[in-house]
Amino acid sequence: MTVLEDPVRRSAGLTRVEAAQRLARDGRNELPPPKRTPLVLQFLRELGHFFALMLWVASVLAWVADLPQLAIAIAAVVLVNATFAFVQERRSDRAAQRLRALLPRRVIVQRDGEPCEIDAAEIVVGDLMLLSSGDRVCADGDVVVNRGLRVDASMLTGESESVGAEVHGRVSAGTFVVDGEADVEVVATGRATRLAQISTLTNETHRPRRPLTTELDRVVRTISIIAVGVGLTFMVVSMLLGTDHSDAIVFAIGVTVALVPEGLLPTVTLSLAIGAQRMAKQQALVRHLDAVETLGSTTFICTDKTGTLTENRMTATQLWTPSASATIDGLGYVSTATITCDSDDRTALVELARAAARCGTGRAIERDGDWVSLGDPMEAALDACARRLGLDLDADRRARPEVARFPFDSGRKRMSTVVGGSSLVVVAKGAVEGVLALCADDDASTACRRRASELTDAGLRVIAVAARRVPEGVPAPASAADAERELELLGLVGLLDPPRVDAGEALDRCRGAGIKVAMITGDHPQTALAIA
C-alpha cells in the first residue's frame, strides 16, 4: 500500500536555491560527448579505404607508364570522391548535434515541497524524482518509497524481462519504468552515472562493416587480381614476342590500369548521397552514407502504434454509464469542448469523469498558452475530460485528498486509489475485464461488455471505472486485494489517439517496396485491428 501521508513521500526535496548551487557545482546531467576523430583523420580515412588505395596504385602506375593525364584524372577522382563523402558526413554530424540539443527530456521532481517538471539535464544530486509507469529514468538514484516499481533495464543489461526494485535499492539512468511508482533520491548524474560509463566503453568500439562495404571490398580484390594477372600475362607474352622489356612493362601497366573501374567509387558515393538527400527531405537524418545501403536491405519493419502510426494525442471522446452516455468533440487537453449527451441528467457521467480523473497521477496543464500533459498522457486526457464536464479537480483534491494508492499492475490490469473526505471511497480503473471481475451486477456487466466491444471496434482505447464506499469506522484498505472488491461499475471511458494522416501512405509505400510491416502494441486486439 502507498499511504500518501508518509513523511518521506511528503519530503520537500531540495529548494530551488540548493538545486541551482548543485547544478553549478556538478554540471548538467548529460552524457559525455563521444570521442571525435580529428577532421584531418576523417578526411584521410576517405582517402585510405581499400578501393581508394587501389585507385592510388593505379594512378602511380599510370604516372610510371608515362600517362600523366590518366594519373592526374584517377587521383582527382579519389580526391573529389573523398571530399564529397567527407562534407556529407560532416553536415549530417552537425545536424545530429543540433537535434540532440533540441530533444525535449523532462522529469518530475519534488522541490520546495511541490512536484514540478524540469529539464532532465538540470536534475542534481539530492533531487527527489517522482517516477511512474512510462517514465525514463534520467539519473542514478536510490529508491526511497516503492509502490510496486518494476523497471526495464535491457538497455544496460541486455535482459528483456523487467525487474523489481527494493526500497534503498538502486535504479540507473537509461532504464524504463514499466510498472508501479517510486520516489527516488538522485545519487549520481551526468558522467558519474552507470549509463555514462557504458557509453564511454561503447564509444571505443568500432562500427560493424556494412554489407555494401564488404561486397565492394570483395569486388575490388577480385578486380585487382584479374587486372594484375592480365597485366602480367600481357607483359610475358610481349617479351616472348620480342618486345623490348621496358616497352613490355609499360604496356602491361597500361593494360592493368585500363582494367581498374575508376568510375565505380564516385558512382557508389553519388548514389548513396542522393539517397541520403532524399531521406533528409523526409526529416530522416543519415550520418554515414553506407547506412543508406543497409536501410535499403530492409525486408521487415516492426513498428509501435502510439506516436508512430498515431498522433499521440490521447483524448477522451466517449463516456458510457448504465444510465447515460456522451460524445465529446475535439482533440487534445483543452478544458472546453462540445459535449453531446443522450440524457438531461449528467450526474452519472460527471461522477464517472471525476472518479477516472482522481484514480491517477497525470494532469493536463496550460503552458505557454497550450494545454499539455504532465505525466501519463492517458491520465492527462481523463483529467481534461473531467474539466470539460465542469469539475474543479484542484478543489476536489483539496476537499477529498488521496489516502492510499495501489499502482497499475500488469497482472491485475488495473490501479486503484482511496480518496478521503467525509468518508473513504475506493476508485479502480483499468482493463474492462480486469475491473468487471470485481463487480457484482451481471446485467450492468453484460451491457458494459457490449458497449466496450463497440468502442474498441471503433479504434478507441477503453477503460472501465468502478468504485465503492468504505463503511464508516473501517480503516483504509491495506492492500490492493482488500481495496478492490465488491465494486460498483461507474462506466466506461473511450479514448481516441487518431491515426497519423500520412501513416497509410507510408505503409502502402513499404508494401510496394516489398517490405512487410507489423504493428506491435499492448492495446486491445480490436483497437489495434481498427487502427491497422
Question: What DSSP designation does 458 have?
Answer: T
CB atoms within 10 A of CB 446: 11
CB atoms within 10 A of CB 518: 9
CA dist list (Å): 508 to 262, 427, 503, 517 = 39, 44, 9, 10
Specify whether the CB–CB gap between 189 and 122 falls below 8 A: no
> Which residues lie across from 402 on neighbouring strands?
419
> Which residues lie across from 488 on neighbouring strands?
467
Length of the chain: 532
* Cα 13 to the center of its chain, rounded Å: 29
Distance CA(214)–CA(343), nearest Å, equals 70
Backbone angles phi, psi at 330, to 5 degrees: 105, 155
Angle at which helix 50-64 crosses helix 211-240, to 10 degrees, equals 20
Q: Which amino acid is present at 322? A: P
Distance CA(280)–CA(457), nearest Å, equals 37
Q: Which single residue is written with the C-alpha cell 508494401?
A: 511
Catalytic residues: 304
H/E stretch holding 124 reads none
* Dihedral-angle region of residue 124 (phi above 0 means left; psi in -120 to 50 means alpha; beta otherwise): beta
Q: Would you report the helix, strand and coil content of the chain in percent, each value rounded to 5? A: 45, 25, 35
- The bridge status of strand 2-3 relative to strand 402-409 is antiparallel
The closest alpha carbon to 400, from 387, 418, 419, 386, belongs to 419
Q: What is the residue-wise DSSP string for 138-195? A: -SEEEEEEEEEEEEE-HHHH---S-EE--TT-EE-TT-EEEEEEEEEEEEE-GGGSHH
CA dist list (Å): 495 to 315, 320, 387, 470 = 5, 12, 15, 29
Q: Which amino acid is present at 363? A: R
CA atoms within 13 A on the CB side of 461: 24
Distance CA(216)–CA(94), nearest Å, equals 28
Distance CA(334)–CA(313), nearest Å, equals 11
